[in-house]
Amino acid sequence: MVDLRCMTFANRDATDLIVAGCQTQLFRIDIDKGIVTETIAPATSIPFTSMRTASQTICAAAHDGTIHLLDPKSLAVIHSWKAYAGTVNDMDARGDYLLTCGWAQSQHQGLALERLVRVFDLKTRKPARPLPFQGGAANVRLHPKLSSTCIVLSQNGALHSIDIQNPEMPSMKFASVQDGHFVGLEIMPSGKGFALADSNNNLVLWGSPSKLQFTEYAKATDFPDSIIGNKQVDWSTGPINLIGMPHYREPLLSSWPNNLVHQVGVQTPRLDNLDASFRNCDFGKVGNNPRTRLRHQATEPAQQMLPDPLSAPKFLSEKSRQENTGPDTHRRMSEDLLNALDKMKVDGKASKDARFLYRNVEIKYSRFGVEDFDFRYFNKTTYAGLETHIANSYANPLLQLLRFTVTARNVSLHHTARDCRLETCLMCELGFLVDMLEKATAPNCQATNFLRALSKQPDALAQNIIETQATSVSLTTMMQNLTRFLFLRLEDNFKQVAPSLDQFHLAFGTIGLESTQCAQCHYESRVDKVWYAHDLVYPSRPAKARSTRQYFSQILKASVERHSQHRGWCLRCNSYKNMVSHRAVHCLPAVLTLNAAITTGDSRQLWATPDILPREIGVIVKNGRFFCYEGEDLQLHLQRAQYNITVYELVGVVADVLPSENEKSHLVATIDVGLASTDTTRERDWHLFNDFLVHPVSQEDALHFNPQWKLPSVITYQAKTMSHVVDQTWKTVIDTSILFRSPAQPGIGGSYHFRALSADEALPTTGIHVAIDAEFVRLLREEIDVGPTGKRTMTRPARSGLARVSVLRADGHDRELPFIDDYIAIEDPIDDYLTQFSGLHDGDLTPGRSRYKLSVLKDVYKKLWILVNLGCSFIGHGLSSDLRIINIHVPEAQLVDTQELFSLGSRTQRKLSLRFLAWAVLHEDIQQDVHDSIEDARTALRLWLKYLEFSDAGILEIWKDKIMAAGRVNNFRPPAAENPSAPSTPSRQPVHAVLPGSTLGTPAG
């Protein structure tokens, strides 16, 4: 690095610095790490003397008076022009403007400072009208607060404040300089002053002494607290309570949270009396070793340490092992404490003892994976929570809120029931998730498929709604960005199958007109618009009016009508002018979605107002005006019945919480689940949804906010007429045509028989059985942390992907004939194909390379979802783990799991494998080389038929005794399992499609 002259940031929010000078190289420096991350050597060396960043462009001035525009990523020259005959003396850029001062050719004096400030439009990349400056422009700076105003300085001290749009009337000042000339100008970031530098190395501050402020957000200097003298108290006769407690409004320092209270241990044990046995010698004293402990062994004074009363629950495997060993005292105490807190009445003040419900919950993993975690410990309700070990799981509260918003629930399920063929349709994924949460009897579900589809949206990363390690956006900002993005994407998805958007607009969109008027010529433009999420606009309260209460209805009215001022392009003036805009509302939706948009201290403090968020609001729309009422005003309008008023009920709130200083903030949802029930007489029933922790709370606690630890992020209201309107007609209009589009696949050894369902064939409905099996591949390995003691702890389980699904007919003359055999295309990197268990090899799931006819995951999932809702029963082996990875919930009444049917009960807790049961019961040797889903599904079907046969004959327990005896002899493995054959590539045979009416053993034509 030699002769460096200039530097600038790559963009406004970047941490990398671009450095250049009169040399052949440019450098990119990471200011956080303090290292040079990139060295760029252009093909043509350009000596740069000045650099500025604006409008996603780096403006660089060369030594010969040429100005270059550089790409901030590659630093390649994208545009350049010759600006001056001499050098560029100074320049500045902000927004779409680049202003320069330089040395031009004078008629009599050679090179001299040009009496113009040249303006270049970075948006159009064309010169704009220059700014005249008679004194010779030496330095120029754009004002940080006034976008079209610049400050120009001459060498002799002439200062002009010039409006770029109206340069005819500049504001003129003069700064004196002694025995020199000015060489530099900088404006303070606050815009309340600037600094001048002269050739004598003097620095002159220019501004009002009373208003001079360097930084935009100044912070007062912290001084030490004054020492208060102790009060003199006569300790001999005076009582201690003479020292009273001071008045306080915040928690006292003595109110320590539980995480700061520790056991200090017991008193140090008394040393053994060894002095009596010591005798003197030349080098000290010698005595006999009492040998009370082993050599190099030390004792711990505190042997019995009490566990954390709110520690994580034991794993299910540990609980089952300890059922026969007596009660666990520590576990019992933890459960008793949790039950006591469950029954506690949480008041509006939300004491610290009640904040444990809002804490960050984490899933602990044993060697059995996530299935071994006791979710019921955190959720004893009938409403399923959502797991957290998934990318973008910050969206869980919003998904729960949409699930209990009846309008969103009905619209998504009706859309999902139609034949939507969009692979990444968020509306379909929302319908799948809502249906799974409603059917779930387990305390936990996962939104894996929805979040995967969300991450695959084209512009999701640009909208800051995807969790990445490099993101610095807060969770509440990401949640509000997601709310805006989601409804726009749902609108696009809804158009895939709906003839018009009218139903979607009536459900979620505020239909109106946005008017924009020029403040100078009063030219007005109007645009029809639909708004799905409204950002709350808080009033700026002067100091004298801060005692006046602000009502939520007033804030909502200002937020919907949204009167604002900004600068924009006027078509009549043909220039940028001050614009005034407002909204006129014509039609209200069934669901009002509001972003809290809390960005200032005043807005945070406003939410500390008691009962700030009303349970009900009333809205009147008349002549484009939006009128909102709450409380007594609402009841008065309802009694008069003079206007058509729409009453909205509060469905729930997504809140940003920080329950303790030792935790990171996270998002939870408080929801009135009673509005989503079919019981119209059901009272308000508020629940807290903290990921997989679900707990009933009072309305006071749900709607209580505190600027220190709990603030709203997203608020949802729903028209009262839509409450309890749970539409179930979508089940009667499910489009089943996708079941008829299942492709046949190449066979695996021997003849391959397959026939998809046809329109003239009876659908598998209630009472019909199908056999199912699935194969999976591993996408990511598990993450293991090794502690200082060598203990291995799983921090994240392995992530698997669905690779193949086979579904067979289980009834009728076509029994064991597959009608679904789909291989799923996987675009994500595959860590391991698990060939020994899946039968798949590299390239089998890659589009363009696979030998199979691949299907997308959504199509395969929808086939299974349709079968579940048609009511058919699924036969399989170990279905719980398979269905969990598929991420679908099947009611227990529709499950026939042969692993549970042939459970040996009290004989052993071992789960019997399908291969062992096939050998012991069916006398078949399956899975000799690799697993095949059709073979496994067919084996499970035959085991179920044997189970029915044994049950009818009354010999089921006798057979279980035989299975137990055979298992003990062979270690619960088939004899052939001792010398398994190596996995090999099976031969592929041509497909023989079985036509309707043909038998299973005879391939069609």
Express each pLDDT in 955-973 by its tens digit.
999 998 898 888 888 888 8
CA distance 420 to 410: 16
Task: Determine the pLDDT at residue 995.
Answer: 36
Task: Determine the pLDDT at residue 341.
Answer: 46
Task: Determine the pLDDT at residue 192.
Answer: 84
Is residue 218 pLDDT above 70, yes or no? Answer: no
What string of H, E and C letters represents the secondary structure of 962-1003? HHHHHHHHHCCCCHHHHCCCCCCCCCEECEEECCCCCCCCCC
Task: Identify the domain boundary among 172, 191, 206.
Answer: 206
Q: What is the DSSP string of 604-622?
A: HHHTTSTT-S-SEEEEEEE
At 337-381, the pLDDT tens digits run 445 445 444 333 444 456 778 888 888 877 676 777 878 888 889
At 879-909, the pLDDT tens digits run 988 998 999 999 999 999 999 999 888 787 7
The identity of residue 790, as a single letter, is G
CA distance 986 to 839: 8
Kindly state the tokens that stand for 983: 């996995």
* Residue 48 is assigned to a structural domain of this protein: yes
* Residue 903 is assigned to a structural domain of this protein: yes
DSSP state of 919: I
Task: Determine the pLDDT at residue 317.
Answer: 62
In sequence order, what are the beta bridge partners of 619? Answer: 628, 646
Task: Identify the domain boundary among 171, 206, 241.
Answer: 206
**Residue 889: which of 870, 864, 854, 853 has the closest Cα?**
864
Sequence-distant (6+) residues with CB within 8 A of 109 are none
CA distance 324 to 309: 23
Question: What's the domain range around 179?
Answer: 4-206
Check: CB of residue 356 under 8 Å from CB of residue 310. Answer: yes
The domain that contains 923 carries what CATH number?
3.30.420.10
> Per-residue confidence at 547, pLDDT binned at 50, 70, 90?
low
Task: Determine the pLDDT at residue 148.
Answer: 85
The domain that contains 133 carries what CATH number?
2.130.10.10
Average pLDDT in the 266-270 region? 65
> Per-residue confidence at 176, pLDDT binned at 50, 70, 90?
confident
* Residue 973 is assigned to a structural domain of this protein: yes
Is residue 1000 pLDDT above 60, yes or no? Answer: no
In terms of C-beta density within 10 A (0-12 exposed, 13-18 middle, 19 or more buried), how is residue 152 classed? buried
Sequence-distant (6+) residues with CB within 8 A of 861 are 432, 449, 886, 887, 888
> Per-residue confidence at 789, pLDDT binned at 50, 70, 90?
confident
Kindly state the tokens that stand for 532: 């799905």
At 627-678, the pLDDT tens digits run 999 999 999 989 888 889 999 999 999 999 987 766 788 999 999 999 998 8
Task: Identify the domain boundary among 175, 191, 206.
Answer: 206
- Please give the C-alpha separations between residue 169 and each of 140, 149, 164, 576, in angstroms, as whole numbers: 17, 12, 10, 18
Task: Determine the pLDDT at residue 55.
Answer: 76
Cα dihedral across residues 487, 493, 497, 500: positive or negative: positive
> Per-residue confidence at 975, pLDDT binned at 50, 70, 90?
confident
Average pLDDT in the 824-838 region? 88
Task: Determine the pLDDT at residue 907.
Answer: 81
Is residue 122 pLDDT above 50, yes or no? Answer: yes
Q: Which residue has the higher pLDDT, 205 or 542?
A: 205
Lowest mean pLDDT among 231-240, 284-293, 721-730: 231-240
> Ranked by mean pLDDT, which of 3-7, 485-489, 747-751 comes out on top?
485-489
Kindly state the tokens that stand for 170: 């500049």
% of residues, the chain, pLDDT over 90:
42
> Ranked by mean pLDDT, which of 815-819, 843-847, 966-970 comes out on top?
815-819
H helix or E strand, kind and range, residue 401: helix 396-403
Lowest mean pLDDT among 528-537, 825-834, 994-1003: 994-1003
In sequence order, what are the beta bridge partners of 569? Answer: 576
Is residue 749 pLDDT above 60, yes or no? Answer: no
Is residue 748 pLDDT above 80, yes or no? Answer: no
Task: Determine the pLDDT at residue 245.
Answer: 65
> Per-residue confidence at 750, pLDDT binned at 50, 70, 90?
low
- Please give the C-alpha separations between residue 217 and each of 190, 191, 534, 632, in angstroms, as whole numbers: 8, 12, 28, 41
Kindly state the tokens that stand for 116: 């113009």
CA distance 397 to 399: 5
Sequence-distant (6+) residues with CB within 8 A of 339 are none
Average pLDDT in the 209-214 region? 77
Check: CB of residue 796 under 8 Å from CB of residue 776. Answer: no
Q: What is the mean pLDDT of the chain?
A: 84
Is residue 913 pLDDT above 60, yes or no? Answer: yes
Is residue 239 pLDDT above 90, yes or no? Answer: no
* Residue 415 is assigned to a structural domain of this protein: no
Lowest mean pLDDT among 66-80, 768-782, 786-800: 786-800
Check: CB of residue 934 under 8 Å from CB of residue 808. Answer: yes
At 405-433, the pLDDT tens digits run 999 999 999 999 999 999 999 999 999 99
Kindly state the tokens that stand for 930: 């690799």
Q: Which residue has the higher pLDDT, 917 or 241?
A: 917
* Residue 135 is assigned to a structural domain of this protein: yes
Q: Which residue has the higher pLDDT, 717 or 911?
A: 717
**Residue 566: which of 556, 576, 557, 555 has the closest Cα?**
576
Phi, psi at residue 647, to the nearest 5°? -95, 130
Task: Determine the pLDDT at residue 372.
Answer: 72
Task: Determine the pLDDT at residue 593.
Answer: 95
Task: Determine the pLDDT at residue 444.
Answer: 86
* Residue 171 is assigned to a structural domain of this protein: yes
Q: Going along 639-756, which residue ranges are E strands?
A: 646-657, 666-672, 686-690, 693-696, 710-719, 747-748, 752-754
Is residue 561 pLDDT above 80, yes or no? Answer: yes
In sequence order, what are the beta bridge partners of 694? Answer: 379, 689
Look at the chain and report how many structural domains it folds into.
2
Task: Determine the pLDDT at residue 396.
Answer: 94
Q: Which residue has the higher pLDDT, 771 or 148?
A: 771
* Residue 642 is assigned to a structural domain of this protein: no
Task: Determine the pLDDT at residue 973.
Answer: 86
Task: Determine the pLDDT at residue 323.
Answer: 53
The identity of residue 704, as a single letter, is H
Check: CB of residue 628 under 8 Å from CB of residue 619. Answer: yes
* Residue 72 is assigned to a structural domain of this protein: yes
**Could you tell me whether strands 625-629 and 510-518 are parallel, antiparallel, or unpaired per DSSP bridges?**
unpaired
Question: How many residues would you count in the chain?
Answer: 1005
49 SS3 class: strand
> Per-residue confidence at 540, pLDDT binned at 50, 70, 90?
confident
In terms of C-beta density within 10 A (0-12 exposed, 13-18 middle, 19 or more buried), how is residue 448 classed? buried
Task: Determine the pLDDT at residue 305.
Answer: 44
